[in-house]
Amino acid sequence: MFRARAYFVVLVFAALGLGIVSRLFYIQVLHNSDYAAESRKQAQQRVLLCAKRGDIRDRKGRALAASVGSQLTLTATMLASQNAGPADSAERTVTLRRVYPFGEAAGALLGCVGTDGFGLAGAEFFFDKYLRGENGWAIVMRDGRNRKYPTLDLPRKQPRAGDDVYLTIDIDIQKIAENVIRQAVSSLNAKGGMCIVMEPANGRILAMVNEPAFNPNMPNRYALDARLNKCIGYTYEPGSTFKAVTAACALQEHVKKETDTIDGNHGVYEVYDEKIRDEKPYGKLTFAEALSYSSNVCFAKVANDIGNERLYKYARDFGFGARAGILLPGEEAGVVHPIDKWSGRTRVTMAIGQEVSVTLLQMSLLFAAVANGGVLVEPRILESVQAQGGVVVDSGECRPVRRVIGEDAARRLGAMLCGVVRKGTGMKAAINGIAVAGKTGTAQKIDKETGTYSATRQWASFIGFAPADHPLLLCAVVIDEPLHSEMGGSAAAPAFQKIMSQIVSHPQLEFAEKFLGAPAAAKEAAAGVLTEVPDCSGMPSDKAEGLLKSEHIPFELVGGGSGAIAFQEPRPGTPLAGAQKLLLYTGAPAAGGRSGENVAVPNCMGKDLRDAVNAMNLKGLTPYVIGAGLVARQSPLAGELVHHAEVCTLACSFGEIARKL
């Protein structure tokens, strides 16, 4: 009995031993590779190495958006310290932090990046394919405490950093425009504001302002509509700035000349039982004066002479009702209703900027076309895309879209827009020593409850370019709902003046040199059509005035407006370019000289403007000042003998700029 039990126990243990040996044979021999792979899977982990996102930079290479971190910390230190997460996770992700060094500056234009590292809005979204780069990966070891560490023998793929995107934006100009718009909105207790600064010749955008601003460093603090780039994604009725379209059509189609007379009907014009009104009652005005004083009544009559088809054609040709094609997301097309949807009054109201919706970018391009001699250009926001090492991957370029009006019509319209600033509704946009062309606009908003125009809520705008005879800069300003319903001339025009003046006088920008130092030949080439001025010296002022009017030469009488012409600027036979005026100096000789005497021009170089003007006056000469600060150039040169009362030009600038000129 005992022996039987012993045999049973031996048999059981033998069976167990055989089972263990069989299992070991199964694992170690038959399925060795499978279990080895499973062991490695538990001890190793795949980690994503996020590529360093490329920078967004301004036109001078200053970083507007950058990523914190480096490839070294990603491949070593950060991998070794990647301890968080469940033990069975197949892969881990390392995310870099995106920073915007200038905070709110150009925030809506730049956009932001999501937690996954992809661009969500603005330039971050549009250029994401360049900025994102290509992620890498690494296999790391994991010990029993779930600590991870890299080893040299394990495979990895290094990430490829994203490309850098250079925009046409200039951060100095952006900050100038933002500060001025912010101050204007605050002082007017307005709802907000927008601004675009651009080079009209090539469509290059130098600044794009949205107020209230958006700080992309803290995107979660803002609602989605607060992140919107309103300059391209918000439409509004432009009001009287749209009269530039009507005026361009009238000039190009020979419907009106600048001197044609239009009856202002004392400020009231009835169309289909509704009244078009002017801010002030006007009688008879010339076409040029109607634009200068922004007469709705006169432009309603001009629209009737133009007709539906031509007005609609020019609105579309100038780009309204279609996206301009800027390389940014969220651009709106605006609305220009087809003619078959027009009411009986649409022609009239559209001619004065109602029943049409636009973006500020579209309006900027309209005035740029006038500045360019009638050619519409695409807006340009991209300067270049550069890979690591400075290799250019892509670049932006100036693309003309179409010619809308001829050079002659554009030049004449530019001169009319100069009149708006010189004597019309845009006088607060004037810049001392620099000819400015532009137009004011005031547009009432639609009251959603009544469906009619609000008496208290409106947009106030001014769009202009300078210098008028060889445009270098264009600035468009819109103030949204100023508290006391200030109009474009009192709300937006002063902001334009401050922005342009600060840009021109900024020591780190090139525009002081360009504005004050451009050679006469360049001015003439930019202006297109040139007119040689006649010799008016010695003529009675009334005879000279009649001669110049008959030749359609713009002029201005200086010194009382009576008596003989003592001197003229430019001199006889000199080409008169673009919107440039002939200056006629009348009246008695100055204190420092007598008729017929020659006077030696004093040396004013480097002098303060006030001292230079006094020196000229003491010699009996007439100073003509460009800019402000110290005298950088003078013409005629010191020591030259000139006639009494002759004009001497003093081009001035500030310290560092003056030394460069």
Q: What is the residue-wise DSSP string for 522-534?
A: HHHHHH-SEEEPP
Rounded distance between C-alpha atoms, residue 296 and residue 528, angstroms? 31
Rounded distance between C-alpha atoms, residue 652 and residue 632, angstroms? 5
Query: 160-179 b/e with 16+ CB inside 10 Å = b?
Result: bbbbbbbbbbbbbbbbbbbe
Query: 377-401 b/e with 16+ CB inside 10 Å = b?
Result: bbbbbbbbbbbeeeeeeeebeeeeb
Q: What is the pLDDT of residue 244?
A: 97
571-621 residue pLDDT tens: 666 566 555 677 776 654 434 444 446 777 888 888 777 677 767 776 777
Catalytic positions, written as ranges: 240
| DSSP notation for 226-277 | GG--HHHH--B--GGGGHHHHHHHHHHTTS--TT-EEE-GGGEEEETTEEEE
Q: What is the pLDDT of residue 40?
A: 57
From residue 8, alpha-carbon distances to 2, 359, 641, 649 in Å are: 10, 97, 138, 126
Q: What is the pLDDT of residue 157?
A: 81
β partners of residue 386: 164, 392
The number of C-alpha atoms within 13 Å of 539 and in the hemisphere containing its C-beta is 17
Q: What is the pLDDT of residue 587?
A: 52
* List of domains in the chain: 35-166 (3.90.1310.10), 171-386+395-521 (3.40.710.10), 529-660 (3.30.10.20)
pTM (2 d.p.): 0.70
Q: What is the pLDDT of residue 657?
A: 35
177-204 residue pLDDT tens: 999 999 999 999 999 999 999 999 999 9
SS3 558: strand
Query: Are 634 and 661 in contact, with CB atoms under 8 Å apart?
Result: no
From residue 583, alpha-carbon distances to 174, 471, 622 in Å are: 36, 21, 12
Rounded distance between C-alpha atoms, residue 219 and residue 444, angstroms? 32
301-319 residue pLDDT tens: 999 999 999 999 999 999 9
From residue 284, alpha-carbon distances to 39, 208, 247, 261 in Å are: 96, 40, 17, 6
Q: Which residues of the chain register pLDDT less than 70?
A: 1-2, 23-24, 26-45, 69-96, 141-153, 516-532, 550-551, 558-563, 566-580, 585-597, 610, 614, 618, 627-628, 644-645, 654-661
φ, ψ dihedrals at 203, nearest 5°: 75, 10
Burial class (CB in 10 A: 0-12, 13-18, 19+), 215: middle
Rounded distance between C-alpha atoms, residue 635 and residue 171, angstroms? 35
Task: Provide, rounded to the nearest whole percent, the portion of the chain with pLDDT above 70.
Answer: 79
Q: What is the pLDDT of residue 73?
A: 41
| DSSP notation for 90-104 | SEEE--PEEE-TTTT
Q: What is the pLDDT of residue 363?
A: 97
Rounded distance between C-alpha atoms, residue 39 and residue 147, angstroms? 16
